[in-house]
Amino acid sequence: MQKIVVIGASVVDVILKSDKFSIIKSHQMETGVALCEVLGGKTDAQEGVVSTGGGGSNVAVGFRRLGESVKLISKIGKDEFGRIIQDDLGREMVDSSLLKVGDGVTGFSSVLVAENGSRSIVTFRGESAKFDLVDIDFRTLEMADWVQISSLGGNIDLLDDVVNFCYQKGIRVGVNPGIGEISDKKKLISIVKKVDLLCLNRQEAALLGGIDFNEEREIANFISNVGVKFVVVSDGKRGASVIRNQLWLKMDAYKNKSVDDTGAGDAFVVGVVDGYINNKDIDDCLEMGIANGSSVVSFMGAKKGLLRKAEVLVNKRKKLKVVEERLS
């Protein structure tokens, strides 16, 4: 059992799924597609779920279900959403003793899910946006086998401080930054050179490199030269890849139907990192991440499909296609 400290947001997700949401191609969007609803109109949803979410909360629960000892450092408000989050962490046996409770509102997200499971998320960060250095228990970090940092809502200075601390103390650390951190490209690149494992999705990797989303190999070449020991890039239904020592290893995704893509990236991170810290080989790390993400998208909400340790082996139901290439 590994001792893991997770740092990141805890929010409540309000998820609505409707067959009336349209997916259209648009050159104005970074990924080339957009989820649309009629401006000024009203739409009925066929499904609705209220569940806990946020990168920190999702990842913490994911590690706990895989049998690790997990402490979560996060910030919520003194309100009903905050109590829902605390109750959920308690049920999942995540140590929430380091959870900070502010006087403001707990963060929450509106998640719009199309019929094919793809989604768009609008987040009000609330108290999680006020998360700062004083909220970090550095003595706890020193006792950890691994520190996993999710999106900090753009607080790049906090990310820098925590990563520097871990680097100086010899604590292994992984980072899964959000769009807010990626917007400060130069500083983020200098930070991630000190981490053991960097997790991005393809959109984030493209943004970090200032590269067109469709230029997959150019993105991989850029990532290979950033200077991180181990980088994983998730790519939704197209699978995922590992970039390490100029080797680009790509693996297909499972072809199961997606109900709701919410939380798939966090589930992928959990599987990959858990394999990595337990000394699995690269193929197994990727398979664990893909299996966990594949399970999560089969349910509404970010946590219901998170796998337990015994279930990971079952969900790795067949060998996935793997392609290896050398990068320049």
pLDDT at 213 over 80: yes
14 vs 260, higher pLDDT: 14
Instruction: Compute the distance between CA of residue 204 and CA of residue 30 in angstroms, rounded to an integer.
Output: 10
CATH classification at residue 263: 3.40.1190.20
Contact 266, 302 (CB under 8 A): yes
Tokens standing for residue 84: 């829902």
Taking alpha carbons only, the member of 45, 62, 49, 46 closest to residue 8 is 62
Cα(first)–Cα(last) distance of the chain, in Å?
Answer: 38
Instruction: Compute the distance between CA of residue 90 and CA of residue 58 in angstroms, rounded to an integer.
Output: 13
Instruction: Compute the distance between CA of residue 208 and CA of residue 219 in angstroms, rounded to an integer.
Output: 9
- pLDDT tens digits for range 71-99: 999 999 999 999 999 999 999 999 999 99
Instruction: Kindly write down the DSSP assignment for every residue of 233-269, as one continuous string.
Output: EE-GGG-EEEEETTEEEEEPPP-PPPS--TTHHHHHH
Q: Looking at 39-53, 182-196, 218-232, which range is the least confident one? A: 39-53
DSSP code of residue 161: H
Query: Residue 290 is inside which H or E element, if any?
Result: helix 282-296
Distant-in-sequence, close-in-space partners of 260: CB < 8 Å, separation ≥ 6:
15, 17, 111, 113, 117, 119, 297, 299, 300, 301
Instruction: Compute the distance between CA of residue 80 and CA of residue 90 in angstroms, rounded to an integer.
Output: 15
Taking alpha carbons only, the member of 114, 175, 148, 108 closest to residue 297 is 114
For residue 290, being part of any structural domain is answered with yes
Q: Whole domain around residue 59: which residue ranges?
A: 3-35+45-326
* Tally of structural domains, the chain: 1
**Confidence (pLDDT) at 39:** 78
pLDDT band at 4 (very low <50, low <70, confident <90, very high): very high
The amino acid present at 22, given as its one-letter code, is: S
**Confidence (pLDDT) at 318:** 60
Contact 57, 8 (CB under 8 A): yes
For residue 40, being part of any structural domain is answered with no
**Confidence (pLDDT) at 22:** 83
